[in-house]
């Protein structure tokens, strides 16, 4: 991963105008386990993949509650994510104590981005090696933001970060136009499906994924494993019901192809120049 002499300091520019230390921090986000987020007009759903270092250890927590109306999902260095979530929690407490109202999501995201940007401009600091999906609800509606180690932040309708997140992004890009008017339960189902896309062949179980929801009349909370497993079981039952339904169609198609082949053999002398029918 070593590039050249321009990556030894976060404040050193390369001739191409790049800060390699910041790019390395962004690479740490790509190496972390996947996290996804999607929102509608009234709800935001966060999901993440739980990875354990070994079969003997438990997984690290990847979704943190910041306030009743805000939560975050992280990908990258979990320790950095813990520190930043504690900072966000303190900011929410201070704002609520001072103004007796919840902190707007957009203002908190800007403060978090400013904190991350400082680490790209001080030689005695390093960038935070974690990406955060910030889900929240305020007076202007539901919001989903992505905070980058570079100090940039973006608002999304749906997004995925972490390792093998491209498969989840592809699924979300196909479905995101329907998310605005989706119900809470539909959002949860789409979140679980997007997580399953990142597993690439692994069996999806409630023990390896975490789902959290925040919305109108619903404070931020993590769904228990039993509820998540019920939704996963519903997916599997629906898939099993679809498979037998497609098998008779395939058999019918094969019979039709056989009949057409027989007819072509019998009438080969008269229809020699005719194009075959599409099956």
> Can you give the pLDDT at residue 242?
65
pLDDT tens-place string over residues 101-120: 999 999 999 999 999 999 99
> Can you give the pLDDT at residue 98?
97
All residues at 6 or more sequence positions from 83 whose CB lies less than 8 Å from its CB, including other chains: 128
Find where tokens 């704002």 sit: 95
pLDDT tens-place string over residues 188-206: 999 999 999 999 778 888 8
What are the sequence ranges of the domains in the chain?
20-236
Least confident of 22-31, 163-172, 212-221, 249-258: 249-258
Query: Given a cut of 50, is residue 21 above it in pLDDT?
Result: yes
In 3D, which of 188, 103, 194, 109 has the Cα closest to residue 155?
109
C-beta atoms surrounding 141 within 10 Å: 14
Average pLDDT over residues 260-266: 51
Pick the CATH number of 20-236 from 3.30.420.40, 3.60.20.10, 3.40.50.720, 3.40.605.10: 3.60.20.10
Query: Given a cut of 70, is residue 181 above it in pLDDT?
Result: yes
Cα 239 to Cα 190: distance, rounded to the nearest angstrom: 15
Alpha-helical regions (H) of 57-104: 78-99
Contact yes or no for 213/190 (Cβ under 8 A): no
Cα dihedral angle (238, 241, 244, 246), rounded to 10 degrees? -50
Least confident of 48-52, 220-224, 243-247: 243-247
Cα 163 to Cα 141: distance, rounded to the nearest angstrom: 30
> 64 pLDDT band (50/70/90 cuts)?
very high
Average pLDDT over residues 173-191: 93
**In whole numbers, what is the pLDDT of the chain averaged over residues?**
87
C-beta atoms surrounding 7 within 10 Å: 18
Contact yes or no for 130/74 (Cβ under 8 A): yes
In 3D, which of 108, 109, 117, 195 has the Cα closest to residue 146?
109
């Amino acid at each position: 991963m070593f590039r050249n002499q321009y990556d030894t300091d976060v404040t050193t520019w390369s001739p191409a105008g790049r800060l390699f230390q910041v790019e390395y921090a962004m690479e740490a986000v790509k190496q972390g386990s996947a996290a996804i987020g999607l929102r509608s007009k009234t709800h935001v759903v966060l999901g993440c993949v739980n990875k354990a270092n070994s079969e003997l250890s438990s997984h690290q927590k990847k979704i943190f509650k910041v306030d009743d109306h805000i939560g975050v999902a992280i990908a990258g260095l979990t320790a950095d994510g813990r520190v930043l979530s504690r900072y966000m929690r303190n900011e929410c407490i201070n704002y609520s104590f001072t103004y007796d109202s919840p902190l707007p999501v957009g203002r908190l995201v800007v403060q978090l981005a400013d904190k991350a940007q400082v680490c790209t401009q001080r030689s005695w600091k390093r960038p935070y090696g974690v990406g955060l999906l910030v889900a929240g609800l305020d007076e202007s509606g539901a919001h989903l933001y992505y905070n980058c180690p570079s100090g940039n932040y973006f608002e999304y309708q749906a997004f995925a970060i972490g390792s093998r997140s491209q498969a989840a992004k592809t699924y979300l890009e196909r479905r995101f136009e329907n998310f605005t008017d989706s119900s809470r339960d539909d959002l949860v189902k789409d979140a679980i499906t997007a997580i399953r896309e990142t597993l690439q062949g692994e069996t999806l179980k409630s023990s390896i994924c975490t789902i959290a929801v925040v919305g109108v009349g619903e404070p931020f909370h993590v769904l228990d494993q039993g509820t998540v497993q019920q939704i996963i079981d519903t997916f599997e039952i629906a898939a099993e019901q679809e498979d037998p339904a497609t098998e008779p169609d395939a058999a019918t198609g094969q019979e039709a192809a056989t009949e057409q082949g027989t007819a072509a053999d019998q009438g080969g002398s008269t229809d020699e120049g005719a194009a075959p029918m599409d099956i």
